[in-house]
Structure 1
Amino acid sequence: MDKLHRNERIGALIKILSDNPNKIFTLNYFTDLFNAAKSTISEDIVIVKKIMEKFSFGEVETISGAAGGVKYTPVSSMNNAKKFVKELCTKLMSPERIIPGGFIYMTDVIYSPDTVAVIGEILATQFVSLEPDYVLTVETKGIPVALMTARALNIPLLIVRRDSKVTEGSTVSINYVSGSTRRIQTMSLSKRSIKKNTKSIFIDDFMKAGGTAHGIIELMKEFENEVVGIGVLIETKEPRHKLVNSYVSLLTLDEVDEEKGKINIQPSRLFI
């Protein structure tokens, strides 16, 4: 390859790093790719780091040592996260979203790639320092949020099933009590999906009383896996006492008044 100009290398660096969050690239990888000296690549990386910081696009970290290099983490700044969450609240409070039974129509939000990618980055920012090995979720509506969180962290996504599937081989199943309905439910996960002595975070779209999250914690004990964080898109204000002590939510749902056509949803305490 012919030698590239600096602006061409900068553009390529940003593209490669942002497409591969939390993946470490060695300097040798870029010297070979761009046909440039290590000192030149190091200078380019400093420029990329300043650009990312200036526009709050995330963090570029250089790692020293034999296995070192550079990696990009799509960290969401608090100001950007607050702005996004407030706009999301406004969107979700539209009376047209009320569904009979006191529910909110959210399918368009959860399955919008642009929207859910930002949600995933905000949640990933809360847990990146815990260095989890896996992202867990329960089928089905939590999958897009969990998938984008896993992508931002560059770790595998594991989907816990309500019913075991033949295609997943031998599974571990537990019964747990739903926090809201107090009904006994079942969840299962393939035996070969998780390595022992690892860490995970649980990501879901909605939390009412926390029964599902509590069930996930109990299931992971069977795999010798520690759930080090819990994150949800929306939590309900009531009941105030959840079955899990520590979790992160982006939005808090106070009430859905069908008669008045009113939805009261606010940014969570994380943004206060």
Structure 2
Amino acid sequence: MKRSHRLVALTNFFLENPSEHVQLPFFVETYKAAKSSISEDLDIIDEMFRHEGVGYLQRTPGAAGGVRFIPSASRDRNKAFIEKLCNQLADPTRILPGGYLYMSDILGNPQLVREIGRIFATAFADTKIDVIMTVATKGIPLAHAVATFLQVPVVIVRRDPIVTEGSSVSINYVSGSPQKIQTMVLPKRSLAEGANVCIIDDFMKAGGTIDGMKSLLDEFHANVAAIGVLAEADDEEDERIIQDYVSLVKISKLNMKKNLIEVTSGNFLQD
């Protein structure tokens, strides 16, 4: 195999298998090349990944050493994307009756959702995460995007149990404005005891839903390793239950009478 062909094959492998640790003998056998040649190829690919701002190759020495691709978007790339996202969300035609914000087109766009997943994977690259958790339904695409880059499974919290998922753990929590009691359930087989969980949600006001998921995780003796939200509302900041989280955009003002939305970047870009 020519080096140019091998470089394409290796690049495709890493992009298709992010965060997966692979020992060098696998590449030596697969591409019938010397270990030194593979090592040089990895240097070239790592340099280009960093140049393009999409991530880098993490190398580990020793007998059990190998390499894995860490998706990690550059700050400039993330900033440009988040600014674009803010502009899209600031469209006043997104205002819905009741003061809600229409976001389904963004959550239904595979390219946008994939880039959002890459950003959260960047934020949590150094965090030990065993599983991604979200609540049905709008957070599901985001959770799967993050899980794809981190190579971990997704568990979905639902409002009602599903008979095909077996016995479930159920809790009541307070959410919404005005506040009301709601229920969320999670199948007992979804989580292993002591699992490190990353919670992903599409929108957060006071944080009641996420706080409910944290309480549900207590029932499984699981740990909240990270929390990521696509958009947060700024008008209830003083009453916010959740403090330690990463947000991409912030809805600073939503005025139905003036047909006005102000959207700024979230805390992800803060130094």
The normalised TM-score by structure 1 is: 0.96
SS in 2 for 1:128: coil
Aligned AA for 1:178? S
Q: Deviations over 1:26-74 (max 9, x none)?
A: 2111111111111111111111111111111211111223332111011
8 Å contact from structure 1 (residues 180, 211) kept in 2: no
Q: Which amino acid aligns with 1:257?
A: N
| Whole-angstrom CA distance in 1 between matches of 2:93 and 2:35 | 57
- Are 1:164 and 1:189, in contact at CA under 8 Å, matched by a contact in 2? yes
Matched-pair identity in %: 42
CA contact (8 A) 1:179 1:243 kept: no
- Asked if 1:128 corresponds to 2:108, the answer is no
SS in structure 2 opposite 1:54? helix
* 225-234 vs 97-106, greater mean Cα deviation: 97-106
2:252 to 251, 254, 258: 254
TM-score normalised per structure 2: 0.96
Q: Could you say what secondary structure the match of 2:141 adopts?
A: helix
SS for the counterpart of 1:129 is coil
Unaligned runs of 5+ in 1: none
Unaligned stretches of 5+ in structure 2? none
Distance in 2 (alpha carbons) for counterparts of 1:267 and 1:138: 24
- Size of the aligned set, in residue pairs, is 269
- Following TM superposition, by how much is the alpha carbon of 1:198 offset from its aligned partner in structure 2, in angstroms? 1.7
> In the TM superposition, what is the alpha-carbon distance from 1:245 to its structure 2 partner?
2.2
Equivalence map 1:37-56=2 (5 Å): 37-56=34-53
Which SS does the other structure have where 2:126 is aligned?
helix
Superposition deviation, residue 180 in structure 1: 3.4
**Superposition pairs for residues 215-226 of structure 1, below 5 Å?**
215-226=212-223
- Cα shift at 1:179: 5.2
Aligned position for 1:168: 165
Task: State the distance in 1 between where 2:196 and 2:87 align.
Answer: 35
Partners of 1:103 and 1:176 in 2: CA distance: 21
Cα distance in 2 between the residues matched to 1:67 and 1:221: 36
Q: Which residue of 2 aligns with 1:141?
A: 138
Amino acid at match of 1:255: K
Correspondence for 1:88? 85
1:9-24 counterparts in 2 under 5 A? 9-24=6-21
Equivalence map 1:85-124=2 (5 Å): 85-124=82-121
CA contact (8 A) 2:128 2:225 kept: no
For residue 79 of structure 1, what is the amino acid of its counterpart? D
**Change over 3 Å in CA distance of 1:181–1:128 after alignment to 2:** farther
In the alignment, the residues of structure 2 paired with residue 11 and residue 192 of structure 1 have an alpha-carbon distance, to the nearest angstrom, of 40
Matches within 5 A, 1:189-208: 189-208=186-205
Deviations 1:185-215 (A, max 9, x none): 1111111111112201100000000011111
